[in-house]
A and B are shown apart, each in its own frame.
Chain A
Amino acid sequence: MSGRYLGRKLIQAIVTVVAIILLNFVLFRLMPGSPERALRNPHLTAEVIAGNRARWGLDKPLFPDQLVDYVQETLTGDLGYSIKYRGQPVTDVVLNAMGPTLLLIGLGEIVAIVIGLALGARSGWVRGGIVDRIGNGLSLIFYSMPYFVIGMPLIIIFAAGLHWFPTSGMTSPGGDKDLVATLFDLGRHLVLPLAAVSLGLIGAYSILMRASIIETRAEDYVTTARAKGLADSRILRAHAFPNALLPMVTLIAINLGYVVAGAITAEIVFTWPGLGTLTVQALDARDYPLLQAIFLIVAVSVVLANLAADIIYGYLDPRVRS
């Protein structure tokens, strides 16, 4: 891969991140309302409200004071203090929520990629077969369902009905568990949300892979492989599947970028303490510093994921580099 291609992509990514940082500042201040209005405390006098505004730096002019402060602090990694979770640095609040999201959505992506690609490949390879009819049908159904619609029946059946798993949360109360018990507890809480997220994602991968395989199946080199007498499964595995993967790189890269953002509805329905849930809480409280931090992290993740996709594309397909 040429250094020029790589440099161009890197510059594009840096410019995008700078634009995001500036947009991040403007966007949340365009929203109606303000943090002190989110409190409807009859005891708060005008003086106290003014004090709150000063404390949060909202009493200064938006431009240049607030903007300059914000850019300086962002570049030095100081994301300020949360307004909702008072007394807690934004970085602490965000990092606490990022782990659960990475675990749930990251694992969900991996499970969905493995099953979705396998299902899509098999469906497309044997069109009209039983796997195609059932798998493609289910993929379409799950693809069109929001996470909470998938999640709630899982809770009703497997948690409230069969008592196999907890309904919600990530851990059980009680901080004196050993490592094995902690992992076990996490596993129990993870099963249902992971199932919901995976089922929701499998559809997207399966449908796209199926279409890609169908297209690949008609290629000359597949016909040639057949003419050479190669086994059907080997043609799929060794020839069709790798070539059909190219369009999947884009989807996987984009989805991986959103892993950080979390699946808000999935996290809400399972009360999973991730960034999706945190975003809703921060929006409710007009917690500007927290919202800015979440937006920044998510946006940068998407940019990085896209950069990774560009680089991988360039590596896989020489035509792109040119």
Chain B
Amino acid sequence: MRSSLRRRGAGLLAMLAITGSVILVGVAGPVAAADPVTLSVGTTQDLDASNPFNTELVVGYEAFELTYSLLVDFDKDAHPAPGFADSWERSADRVTFHIGADRKWSDGQPATSADVCYSWGLALAANKDESYIGSGYLDPGTKDAGVTKIECPDPTTFIAYTTDPSDRIFQVYVPILPEHIWGKDDYKKIGDEKFDAPLVGTGPYTLAEWKTGQFARFVRNPNWWGPNKGFEDEVVLRFFADNTDTMVQALKSGELDYAHGVNSDQFKQLQADTATYTTVAGAANGWTQLAFNTYGTGTGKTIKNGGASTKALQDTAFRDALGYATDHKALVDRVLGGFGDPGDTVVPPVLTDYHVTPDTVRTFNIDLAKQKLDAAGYVLDASGKRLDKEGKEINLRLYYPNTDDNYKKVAQFVEQWYGELGIGVTHQSFDSDTLTDLLLPPEGGGTAKYDIELWGWSGSPDPNGLLYVFLCNQIGTSSDSLWCNKEYDDLYAKESKEGGADRKATLAQMQNLVYNEAPYDVLYYDANLDVYRNDRFAGWQNMPSNGTPFFSYGILDYTLLTDATLVPTPGPTVAAATAGPVATQGPSTSGTSGQGGNSTLILVLVVAAIVIVGGAWLYRRRSARAVEEE
């Protein structure tokens, strides 16, 4: 009996030793004094490609902009700022860019206009062949900007000829790649390149390591020529695919300095702790809309066995009346938790240079909506159901993707509000692909069997990226209202050749036209909910002023950060004192930077574990033998 107890005790001891060793090894993190200062940024997207031409995600843009400069960058207000080029002159048919003579790539090779000619040349070659590079997101930029020809007369000069004097050439998202590395690739081949780390770039930080599904690490570019250098030696983008819960825990634990895209509940919770965190509800460059199926508007076409369930949706007066029946403010408050802005036009307010408030704003008023419907000939029957002009009850099918829980809430509100008008609404969610197929008209190989689509768009720094969707030639591809208006198309062609105040005036006309014609009811402009810690870094700046520090336009903020412990700011200082962060470029408490290899400690722990386990095993063997001898 005693022996049995002893054996059990030995077994338990061995198990405890193993478990304890694992925990000890885990807990006692090795710390090296020479650890670099690391800025850790979390996002709910997983980087899809390090090849700039292949990424389709916001995080991909953030990653490639850290490594590769754009010819023209963005300043804090998203206006053009020096990038690969220091300065430029605009004339009627061309822009002449000037590049500093002493510029170098991160590997020390000279960075010249030849690199620009190579990179922009890829895009122009794709445009010329009416083809595309990689996933086809970046190269249309040169086409939109009206670039017809490029020249590099000397290493410091790059000339781009354009069809018009517009300013869109300053927002072209074509990364300047090192010709000495990729020069052998044409536009077809470059899209298939993996761009394995480490990469050579001219950005402030270059990609040094990418672990799919985990993180991408960027190291400081020793040859970065920008005016500012960030306090951080390294930037780590950490990926929490569709997992805000763990991302927030990582922020709380200090593993992250910045979290992009938390949900509203997490945001409010963190908002309460102002000493530790700063919360930013930045205006997003996008919206959520009701898109009405107006197929036939402007074209007179019909769809056999398809299309909208009522012709009323082709009637501007009907759509206008519906616009008075959706309370945009209530949606922001009750669906978005107060984070966002009520929607109006198809240019989001974050594009401050271009957004206008409509000349005639629709305000939520159910009675007025009823009056307008009556006046337009959509009367109620005896049972209180609204009839279309063919005498048929109006029951609308509202479809939305299953990618966002908010859509269902919005659909329920719309059902209620339209119901008060006597209009029935049935709503249903689909996966994004199925919904996209459902929206396609005959031009895209479908039958467009829907009435209202509830979804959203996000855009680029130039409003054309979003305004493009409303062109007649987009029916069958990106148009989800299937609206066609020649006046709009003409205005688009006009503003595409304009710049400055003229373009702004035309864009205002276009916004009012879409608002008044109402193929869309823009419900709200979403917000990006970002949070950063105050204890390690200071100098944060929203870009633009109503945006967020990161995941916006450009990577300026990465170069502006300073040591929080040296900055006497009211909130962060308190947090810094309590959190015990780095005072110099010393060891970090962050889980992502606590490495380096205190091998002695580890070896001691491992040896101790082996001795304990081995001892227990020997003891047990001896005891067992003793029992057998008994």
Residues of A within 8 A of B (CB): 32-34, 37-49, 51, 84-88, 93, 96-97, 152, 155-156, 159-160, 163-175, 177-178, 180-181, 184-185, 187-188, 191, 231, 233, 268-271, 273, 277-278, 280-281, 286
Partner of A180, one of B49, B478, B602: B602
Docked-complex contact A166 and B245, CB < 8 angstroms? no
Docked-complex contact A88 and B194, CB < 8 angstroms? yes
Docked-complex contact A184 and B241, CB < 8 angstroms? no
- Smallest Cβ distance from B598 to chain A, in angstroms? 8
Determine chain A's interface SS by DSSP, over half rule. Answer: loop
Q: Given that A42-B478, A43-B137, A87-B192 are contacting pairs, would A172 and B26 also be in contact in the complex, using a CB cutoff of 8 Å?
A: no
The CA-CA distance from A197 to B591 in the complex, in Å, is 22
Interface: B239 (CB within 8 A): yes
Q: Given that A42-B469, A85-B48 are contacting pairs, would A277 and B217 also be in contact in the complex, using a CB cutoff of 8 Å?
A: no
Docked-complex contact B26 and A191, CB < 8 angstroms? yes
Docked-complex contact A163 and B254, CB < 8 angstroms? yes
Q: Given that A85-B49, A191-B26, A268-B241 are contacting pairs, would A185 and B213 also be in contact in the complex, using a CB cutoff of 8 Å?
A: no
Chain A residue contacts of B236, Cβ below 8 A: 173
The CA-CA distance from A231 to B177 in the complex, in Å, is 77
Docked-complex contact B130 and A47, CB < 8 angstroms? yes
Q: Given that A41-B135, A175-B209, A178-B599 are contacting pairs, would A87 and B193 also be in contact in the complex, using a CB cutoff of 8 Å?
A: yes
Q: Which of B54, B136, B191, B457 lies at the interface centre, i.e. has the most chain A CB atoms within 10 A of its CB?
A: B136
Partner of A164, one of B27, B137, B469: B27
Interface: B437 (CB within 8 A): yes
Q: Given that A173-B209, A268-B243, A273-B212 are contacting pairs, would A33 and B431 also be in contact in the complex, using a CB cutoff of 8 Å?
A: yes
The CA-CA distance from A217 to B595 in the complex, in Å, is 52
Interface: B592 (CB within 8 A): yes
Interface: B597 (CB within 8 A): yes
The CA-CA distance from A86 to B245 in the complex, in Å, is 29
The CA-CA distance from A173 to B132 in the complex, in Å, is 34
Docked-complex contact B249 and A271, CB < 8 angstroms? no
The CA-CA distance from A273 to B210 in the complex, in Å, is 12
Interface: B187 (CB within 8 A): no
Partner of A84, one of B4, B48, B591: B48
Partner of B591, one of A41, A156, A167, A178: A167
- Smallest Cβ distance from B604 to chain A, in angstroms? 12
Q: Given that A155-B249, A172-B595, A177-B597 are contacting pairs, would A281 and B241 also be in contact in the complex, using a CB cutoff of 8 Å?
A: yes
Docked-complex contact B134 and A286, CB < 8 angstroms? no
Docked-complex contact B597 and A160, CB < 8 angstroms? no
Could you give 20 example pairs across A and B, Cβ below 8 Å?
Answer: A32-B433, A41-B137, A45-B130, A48-B132, A51-B132, A87-B194, A163-B589, A164-B23, A166-B255, A167-B255, A168-B250, A170-B214, A172-B592, A173-B217, A173-B592, A180-B602, A181-B30, A231-B4, A270-B246, A271-B238
- Smallest Cβ distance from B29 to chain A, in angstroms? 7
Chain A residue nearest in CB terms to B144:
A43
- Smallest Cβ distance from B311 to chain A, in angstroms? 27
- Smallest Cβ distance from A161 to chain B, in angstroms? 8
Chain B residues within 8 Å of chain A by Cβ, number = 79
Given contacts A42-B474, A184-B30, 8 further A-B contacts (CB under 8 A): A37-B432, A42-B465, A155-B249, A159-B253, A172-B592, A173-B217, A269-B243, A271-B241
Q: Given that A48-B131, A173-B234, A278-B213 are contacting pairs, would A43 and B437 also be in contact in the complex, using a CB cutoff of 8 Å?
A: no
Chain B residue contacts of A231, Cβ below 8 A: 4
Docked-complex contact A46 and B602, CB < 8 angstroms? no
Docked-complex contact A191 and B22, CB < 8 angstroms? yes
The CA-CA distance from A180 to B606 in the complex, in Å, is 11
Chain A residue contacts of B242, Cβ below 8 A: 268, 280
Chain B residue nearest in CB terms to A274:
B213
Docked-complex contact B217 and A86, CB < 8 angstroms? no
Docked-complex contact B597 and A38, CB < 8 angstroms? no
Chain A residue contacts of B245, Cβ below 8 A: 152, 269
Chain B residue nearest in CB terms to A172:
B595
Mark interface residues in B403-445 (1 if CB within 8 Å of A CB, else 0): 0000000000000000000000000001111101100000010
The CA-CA distance from A32 to B129 in the complex, in Å, is 32
- Smallest Cβ distance from A94 to chain B, in angstroms? 11
The CA-CA distance from A167 to B209 in the complex, in Å, is 20
The CA-CA distance from A168 to B255 in the complex, in Å, is 10
Partner of B593, one of A97, A159, A169, A174: A174
Q: Given that A32-B433, A32-B434, A38-B432 are contacting pairs, would A174 and B51 also be in contact in the complex, using a CB cutoff of 8 Å?
A: no
The CA-CA distance from A175 to B216 in the complex, in Å, is 11
Interface: B461 (CB within 8 A): no
Chain B residue contacts of A51, Cβ below 8 A: 131-132
Interface: B505 (CB within 8 A): no
